Amino acid sequence: MVRQGRGREDSVGSTLRVRNAPFPANAQPDVVLHHGGRFHVCEVKSGRADYGRFDCVFESKPFQQFLADTGHIGADPWEVEQDIIKLRLFPRLSDEVGSCLFLMVDAYVGAGRSWTRIFRDSALFKETMRTKFIQDLSDELLARSIIVPLRSDRMEANLIVCAVTTAFGNAKTVGAGIAI
């Protein structure tokens, strides 16, 4: 079963049958796949060649409360960071969550930072992330990430794959086969 959508009935809490659970139960991930008796959650982002995807739309009151409860003070997290935080928290909702995966196709080639550069450099990753929650996880997250070059005649991009959580303990991602 694959669920995609943007209605309340498509929240991860609804999928896991834990509607009254705390944040991030009402979050609506991009893809939830039921496989092997477990739910696997995926957030997907893309960045155009002329757009670095450093967005910061942050309107969720439960998310804001979660960050306040963790002691976060300062700028709101980037959307990429928001997705990684939610992916990290989904397994707390149910033992049925198998793995949580962040995918990003980064085609940005402009000046300045790109997510590919950030996922390649631990110091830059920590500096870019705005929450201590993710800064504290940076080494673990980068150890569970791979960057796969994507090339065609008219396009170049990088696929960033981060196994935020896995059902397999500290499984390591391997090569372009992206086995997690």
Residue 24 near residue 93 (C-beta atoms within 8 A): yes
Question: pLDDT by residue (tens digit) across 103-128?
Answer: 999 988 877 788 999 999 999 999 99
- Write down the pLDDT at residue 22: 75
Q: Is the pLDDT of residue 179 over 90?
A: no
Residue 102 near residue 160 (C-beta atoms within 8 A): yes
- Write down the pLDDT at residue 3: 47
Q: Is the pLDDT of residue 43 over 80?
A: yes
Q: E-assigned strands of the chain?
A: 2-3, 31-35, 38-47, 97-106, 145-151, 156-165
> Beta partners for 163?
101
pLDDT category at 173 given cuts 50, 70, 90 is: very low
pLDDT category at 151 given cuts 50, 70, 90 is: very high
pTM over 0.95: no
Task: Output the 3-class SS for 68-84.
Answer: HHCCCCCCCCCHHHHHH
